[in-house]
């Protein structure tokens, strides 16, 4: 297993394929995938020895107050091998994120236990997610 912080064109195509397998990323175009990778301050990929992407996460951050984690994704045939845990650990240990005050992410209730193991909490006071679509 190898870790990369810079995805090759081939890896971005592999990420796009992974996106097509999940309800929350299905339908993203290859161009949108390229754009979101390029627009993220931190990209972390886990590669096989053959340099095939099998897990990925990205972070948007101000490097001071918040780091918002997006798109934690693991290839279906690689799940339950600790790669999701590895991605969270790599994000939290990233030297550019060392002084960030809080890490945040979106997840469904069935993922709470996974993220709670890594110190995340759904207890955020009265804060609510708000959205305005720009479609």
pLDDT digits (tens, 9 = 90+) for 11-44: 999 999 999 999 989 999 999 999 999 999 999 9
Decide if 78 is inside a domain. Answer: yes
Decide if 111 is inside a domain. Answer: yes
Tell me how many domains the chain contains. Answer: 1
H or E segment at 16? helix 9-19
DSSP three-state, residue 2: strand
pLDDT of residue 78: 87
DSSP H helices, 20-110, are 30-39, 83-93
Cβ-count burial of 81 within 10 angstroms (0-12 exposed, 13-18 middle, 19+ buried)?
middle
Is residue 121 within 8 Å of residue 67, measured between CB atoms? Answer: no
3-state helix, strand, coil in the chain (%, to 5): 35, 25, 45
**45 phi and psi, to 5 degrees?**
-120, 145
pLDDT in tens, 101-131: 999 999 988 999 999 999 999 888 888 888 8
pLDDT in tens, 52-90: 999 999 999 999 999 999 999 999 998 989 999 999 999
Residues facing 105 on adjacent strands: 69
Decide if 21 is inside a domain. Answer: yes
pTM of the model: 0.91
CATH assignment of the domain containing 55: 3.40.630.30
| Gyration radius from the chain CA atoms | 15
Decide if 134 is inside a domain. Answer: no
Which residues constitute the domain of residue 29? Answer: 2-116
């Amino acid at each position: 297993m190898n870790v990369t912080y810079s995805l090759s064109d081939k890896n971005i195509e592999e990420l796009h394929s992974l996106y097509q397998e999940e309800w929350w990323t299905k339908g993203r175009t290859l161009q949108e995938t390229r754009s979101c990778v390029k627009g993220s301050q931190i990209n972390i990929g886990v590669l096989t020895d053959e340099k095939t992407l099998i897990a990925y996460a990205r972070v948007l951050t101000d490097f001071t107050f918040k780091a918002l984690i997006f798109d934690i994704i693991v290839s279906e045939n690689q799940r339950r091998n600790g790669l999701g845990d590895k991605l969270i650990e790599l994000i939290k240990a990233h030297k550019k994120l060392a002084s960030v005050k809080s890490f945040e992410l979106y997840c469904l209730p069935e993922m709470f236990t996974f993220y709670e193991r890594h110190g995340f909490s759904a207890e955020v006071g009265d804060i609510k997610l708000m959205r305005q679509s720009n479609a």
